[in-house]
Amino acid sequence: MDLIKKITAPNPSVFTGQGTNTYLIGNKDITLIDPGPNIQEHIDEIIKLGDGNIKRIVVTHTHTDHSPAALPISKILNVPMYGKLVDGDSTWEDETFSPDVVLKDLDKIKTEEYILEAIHTPGHASNHFCFLIKNLNCLITGDHIMDGSTVVIGPPDGNMDDYLNSLKRLLTLQIDFFAPGHGNFMHEPKKTIQSIIRHRLARESKTLRKLEDFGKNTINELVKYVYDDVPEQLHPIAKFSLEAHLIKLIGENKVKREEEFYKLN
């Protein structure tokens, strides 16, 4: 039988694509990864598919589309929750999640069927983990890497520098395919990572070019030009990632901020 089962939660949106993917790893000793939003029909489906064999619940991070079903399922099945809380402020935070087991980088869950290794990948969220299923060389990517769109990096918890470093770290691992938090399995991991890094750095160069053109500008204006290839209704979301780029550039002394204006340093 397949070691990986996927169920997509019925929460489609611009943020979540077709919905959040929930994964059940194993058959006799199941690790449930990202139970998703607290939606009864989704919870029922997870419990049915688990068939009494779900032993623990693990979350990649604690955004509201990934972890809120953890608490109700943990109560129903009497199984522990694994994950990590964010340190500071975070947008889109699920306040109901509280881990029984706090995950650390390289923690392993070992069963007779598989070994799952936690890889701390801050960037999209400071408490974000990917999970490597060692026997399959499959990486559960959560929101670190999505199929079909780039992920949002929302400061202050989201951090662009961390995001790029976490991507580069994945290049050092043996991975054959990704099982993302949104969308379908992705079979060219190295290419995908390299193209995400290129895309982010191109966005950063474009930000610098636009600041050079304008002299100085606010983020509300800047987003229209830096993301002119993205539909305007997505600009409020793009603004989060633009802010993350600007914070990174300020950290590198390439940009400075004066009240609401950004300019080249």
In the complex, minimum distance from the CB of residue 61 to Zn ion, in angstroms, rounded to a whole number: 6
In the complex, minimum distance from the CB of residue 252 to Zn ion, in angstroms, rounded to a whole number: 25
Assess 94 for contact with Zn ion (CB under 5 A): no
Using the contact rule CB under 5 A, the part of the chain among 26-34, 140-148, 171-179, 217-225 near Zn ion is 140-148
- What's the token pair of residue 99? 């881990």
Of all residues in the chain, what percent are helix, strand and coil, respectively (each to 5)?
35, 25, 45
How many whole angstroms separate alpha carbon 196 and alpha carbon 200?
A: 6
Count of residues interacting with Zn ion (CB under 5 A): 2
Using the contact rule CB under 5 A, the part of the chain among 24-32, 106-114, 139-147, 238-246 near Zn ion is 139-147
How many whole angstroms separate alpha carbon 241 and alpha carbon 212?
A: 19
In the complex, minimum distance from the CB of residue 235 to Zn ion, in angstroms, rounded to a whole number: 19
Residue (26 or 154) nearer to Zn ion, CB: 154
Strand partners, 5: 24
Assess 143 for contact with Zn ion (CB under 5 A): yes
In the complex, minimum distance from the CB of residue 124 to Zn ion, in angstroms, rounded to a whole number: 6
- What's the token pair of residue 125? 């969220």
Using the contact rule CB under 5 A, the part of the chain among 57-65, 105-113, 218-226, 250-258 near Zn ion is 57-65
Distances in Å between the alpha carbon of 43 and those of 112, 140, 188, 263? 26, 20, 31, 49
What is the number of alpha carbons within 13 Å of residue 37 lying toward its C-beta? Answer: 14
In the complex, minimum distance from the CB of residue 64 to Zn ion, in angstroms, rounded to a whole number: 8
How many whole angstroms separate alpha carbon 178 and alpha carbon 176?
A: 7
Residue (66 or 210) nearer to Zn ion, CB: 66
Segment (H or E) for 44: helix 40-50
In the complex, minimum distance from the CB of residue 125 to Zn ion, in angstroms, rounded to a whole number: 6
Tell which one of 16, 17, 36, 63 touches Zn ion (CB under 5 A): 63
CB 149 within 8 A of CB 190: no
Assess 34 for contact with Zn ion (CB under 5 A): no
Residues in touch with Zn ion (CB under 5 A):
63, 143
